[in-house]
Amino acid sequence: MEKNVEILSREIVKPSSPTPDDKRILNLSLLDILSSPMYTGALLFYAADPQNLLGFSTEETSLKLKKSLSKTLPIFYPLAGRIIGSFVKCNDEGAVFIEARVDHLLSEFLKCPVPESLELLIPAEAKSREAVTWPVLLIQANFFSCGGLVITICVSHKITDATSLAMFIRGWAESSRGLGITLIPSFTASEVFPKPLDELPSKPMDRKEEVEEMSCVTKRFVFDASKIKKLRAKASSNLVKNPTRVEAVTALFWRCVTKVSRLSSLTPRTSVLQILVNLRGKVDSLCENTIGNMLSLMILKNEEAAIERIQDVVDEIRRAKEIFSLNCKEMSKSSSRIFELLEEIGKVYGRGNEMDLWMSNSWCKLGLYDADFGWGKPVWVTGRGTSHFKNLMLLIDTKDGEGIEAWITLTEEHMSLFECDQELLETASLNPPVLI
């Protein structure tokens, strides 16, 4: 499909009103500083209105998006700035807005949405590992020949996580519908987790800095609502009688990749699961609308693959959550607790060659399917797709909010075993068509 995507225009969209002088410099928090210099992004797919045979008008739709974006940026003012070292210069330079034409039918595209094809709908700058030198916010509006539309939103990971991205998308969509932005962002993360006066911790928060880039494969596995219900029942135990969707799928993932490692290794290896956890609502001084990388890692160890049953894995996840909640309470009393957690994470990476490191990240319940810009809600939402880093799983809601899509990146050897695992295939479908 590569030859079928044509860039029509590229321009800078500036805020509709200037940023006040007292907000021109925004210090990054400790967790922002330690995050990877790359972009996090979401793709929102909109089918053409069947009553409008022409579909989305490139000119009218782009104008509507750019005008509403301009009105949104004064509220999310750092996204119109530029990152310089450990702070954002909020100079209103603006966001990049790209229009692209896709000579392809959206319905055909969604029959087999392979990760590689998604890359063609993403701004070229977002694929760079030097995101700190580029604009903070990149938008690409992809107009399909059938009248369908895909809006790609990419934001620098140095200042946003998935929750921050979802807040921005919600505010932009409300602005596009002519409404006031209902969730006003807070840019106070550096007050909760300030940059230390002495040297930074030696290990970065974001695992992507630590993992060797190598030849990997990313594939999409879909757990529909009925299969999720069965999986949750299977994963229930005396300790956890009603596991969540995310707990059940995460447990299955860890169990299956641990089996894969055992099949491909001469001796059993310790399997370590790292779960990214949103600190909002857990650390008392951190409000729910805080923008930034408000994330930490919850770490679970399976010594020599000793934990066998999926119920036992769910039990371990729930125990780890309880311990993590206690750590967050300590963090609420003293921000120095974050340094102790970083040290613990650093020790795990220090033994990376001796253990298998896996990571799970959930975008569930972020409300991305509510992004209505004035022409209805998206028929499909997904993240970036491909990854250059192994052993990652990204979980995203299905449209009905009951199922889960899992985007999993493994080495080619591990994926060839993983995708044939019968326990996995009992509950997941490999890249089924997206239903419009």
Nearest by Cα to 221 from 15, 373, 415? 415
Rounded Cα gap, residues 404 and 246, in angstroms: 8
Rounded Cα gap, residues 188 and 159, in angstroms: 12
Active-site annotation holds for 356: no
Do residues 311 and 237 touch, judged by C-beta distance below 8 A?
yes
Instruction: Please identify which of the residues 312, 370, 372, 421 carries the catalytic annotation.
Output: 372
Rounded Cα gap, residues 211 and 389, in angstroms: 6
Do residues 154 and 385 touch, judged by C-beta distance below 8 A?
no
436 CB-contact burial (10 Å; exposed 0-12 / middle 13-18 / buried 19+):
middle
Active-site annotation holds for 157: yes
Instruction: Please identify which of the residues 157, 206, 315, 397 carries the catalytic annotation.
Output: 157
Do residues 59 and 151 touch, judged by C-beta distance below 8 A?
no
| Residue 212 CB neighbours (<10 A) | 8
Q: Which residues are catalytic?
A: 157, 372
